[in-house]
Chains A and B, each alone.
Chain A
Amino acid sequence: MSFFGSIQFFLLMILLFIPAAVLGLRGKSLRGYRTAASVLMIGLVMWPNKEQLLYLIAFYVLEFVLVKAYLKLRLAQADHRSAAIYRIFLFISILPLILCKISEVSGGFALGLFQFLGISYLTFRVAQMIIEIYDGIIKEVRWLDFTDFLLLFTTFSSGPIDRSRRYIKDGETRYTRDAYLELLGDGLLKILIGVIYKFILATLVHKGVAFFEDPQSFLEFAGYSYCYGIYMFFDFAGYSAMAIGASYILGIKVPENFNKPFISIDMKDFWNRWHMTLSFWFRDFIFSRFMMLAIKGKWFASRLTGASVGFIINMFVMGAWHGLAVNYILYGLYHGVLLALTEIYQKKSGFYKKNKKKTWYKTISWFVTLNMVMFGFLLFSGELI
């Protein structure tokens, strides 16, 4: 059984929806039931692989202790927060992911360390909590909320990446009958769209990917990039729609992950439309924070230089997060450099400022963007390098 990948999973999920719908329609809180359902589902999916399950349990305990301990320390610090302590806690919280990513490529000394399904996505959720505890926005963490948020089974393996404060608000909500009915209807529709995307359209487009496998000529490379990019979209947007829809039925309005990415008219537009919960996470927790430190510390002579460095660091980390392989790192750097160039061009070019709202300009810009995006997927696929 795998998440959104096998018939047993779907059957069990539908079974788990029934009590959720009964509770929802009767205006009851879904939190306790949802958490229990998540533990059951994750337990069943991971049961055949005991080692992974043990790593998950170790991860869960470690992160809960870290969050609780750091919260206690931070509350005691009040207005005199210590950046050093914060950084230590943040580092330990992402250490399992770092070890996992290293052991993925190294083998040898750390074979399989913390390698379990979902660790990449779970780490975002915990790191976000540590960061916001430091910011003083999170002042309380309850065990049930933490478990519910971290382990929601619908978004466990591959997101979307929700935020704890938003999630916990949804988690506590007792919906009126009408409000829950609407959520249920929307949820079922999203699951249906997701099924069509992932199991029909992505499967069809994958035939094109297979057709252009091992490309040689320019045209074959172009064909491969387009098929691979479109396949990635239907596969991941389809998965996301199912995960979002299923979460709705469990009472959580998980944020959207895709918004027509292929109509983007520049690279910044693209990252506001593609894998949005990931890109917004990086924006809020890496790019913005780096920029604020850089501006306050006057690290760079011009704001444009600072922004360029910020974009490249941001996207490099994003690439490395996918995996410590050459193709992922290149993919990240490629997008970082493109974002930096876009920023410089848009700020400096009189031509851009004069023409940016004209239809012909937007059309050309869209076409150029689309091809840069597709080339990015070619890098990502590992077919080029």
Chain B
Amino acid sequence: MEEKVLDLLEEICEDDVVREDLDINLFEEDLMDSLAFTELLVGIEENFGIVISPSEVERSDVETPNKIIALIKARS
């Protein structure tokens, strides 16, 4: 599952640094913006069948690869 999330993140952020540093802050490092965030939500829904709405999570809940993995784990 983790591998699949990282594949998704690498595709959306267009940078493989998301694999190397799982605690990197995606918003601060300019790897993710509002557009990429919606792509992430669609990606999570299509890959894992988990529906997360855009206003449901705070930016701080999904700011690192680790936090995103944890969120998906908690929901599946």
Q: Are the CB atoms of A292 and B56 closer together than 8 Å?
A: no
Kindly identify, within residues 29 to 74 of chain B, every residue whose CB is under 8 Å from any CB belonging to chain A: 30, 33-35, 37-39, 41-42, 46, 53-56
- What number of A residues sit within 8 Å (CB to CB) of B? 22
- Write out, one digit per residue, whether chain B residues 20-36 have a CB within 8 A of any chain A CB (1) or not (0): 00000000001001110
Complex contacts, B30 vs chain A, CB 8 Å: 356
CA distance A268 to B41 in the complex (A): 20
CA distance A303 to B11 in the complex (A): 13
Of B33, B37, B53, B55, the most chain A CB neighbours within 10 A belong to B55
Which residue of B has the minimal Cβ distance to A287? B34
In which size bucket is the chain B interface?
10 to 19
Q: Are the CB atoms of A132 and B39 closer together than 8 Å?
A: no
CA distance A220 to B15 in the complex (A): 47
Complex contacts, B46 vs chain A, CB 8 Å: 296
Q: CB within 8 Å of B: which residues of A? A: 128, 131-132, 135, 137, 163, 268, 283-285, 287-289, 291-292, 295-296, 303, 307, 310, 343, 356
Sampled A-B contacts (24; CB under 8 Å): A132-B53, A132-B55, A132-B56, A137-B55, A163-B55, A268-B33, A268-B34, A283-B34, A283-B54, A285-B54, A285-B55, A287-B34, A287-B38, A288-B34, A288-B41, A289-B54, A291-B38, A292-B41, A295-B38, A295-B42, A296-B46, A307-B35, A310-B35, A356-B30
Given contacts A268-B33, A292-B38, 10 further A-B contacts (CB under 8 A): A131-B55, A132-B55, A137-B55, A163-B55, A287-B38, A288-B34, A288-B38, A291-B38, A295-B39, A303-B39
7 A-B pairs closest in CB distance: A288-B54, A135-B53, A291-B38, A284-B55, A295-B42, A288-B38, A307-B35
